[in-house]
Amino acid sequence: MIETYREQDGRKKQTSFCIVDAQSVKNTWTASEKGYDAGKKVSGIKRHIAVDTNGLIHAIEVTTVNITDREGAIQICERHTETLDKVTNILCDGGYTGPSFAQSIKEAID
């Protein structure tokens, strides 16, 4: 479905550029697993999402909230290799820093 939309928009089927971010969400129902994000003081789950420049979702992971943004982004790249196999660049905010993070992402998307 995403590939069809991208082609109709005059783009290649698969994106080469992704934007990655995470969102902590309070979990009101009983979940089998949930964590605590001390920085945001939220108990619940975290959504890690990779979108293209059109905002179309190419990968999503839901984790406990205690998983860092960096760890979630690495999980996305490792688990969604088929969807992200043409990605050469990833844009993310300051929560995704460090040489080990950059190296892990590079290894996952290469």
**Which residues are CB-contacts of 90 (< 8 A; sequence separation ≥ 6)?**
17, 18, 19, 20, 50, 73, 77, 105, 109
Q: Is the pTM for the entire model greater than 0.95?
A: no
- The reply to whether 9 falls in a domain is no
Distance CA 35, CA 16 (A): 33
Distance CA 41, CA 38 (A): 5
Higher pLDDT, 37 or 79: 79
Q: What letter does residue 60 receive in the DSSP assignment?
A: E
Ramachandran area for residue 7 (φ above 0: left; ψ -120 to 50: alpha; else beta): alpha
- Over residues 33-71, the pLDDT tens digits come to 555 555 656 678 899 999 999 999 999 999 988 899 999
Q: Total domain count for the chain? A: 1
- The reply to whether 68 falls in a domain is yes
* Domain residue limits at 77: 14-109
- The reply to whether 26 falls in a domain is yes
Q: Stretch 8-17: mean pLDDT, rounded?
A: 88
Distance CA 30, CA 64 (A): 13
- The reply to whether 3 falls in a domain is no
> Is the separation of the CB atoms in 60 and 48 below 8 Å?
yes
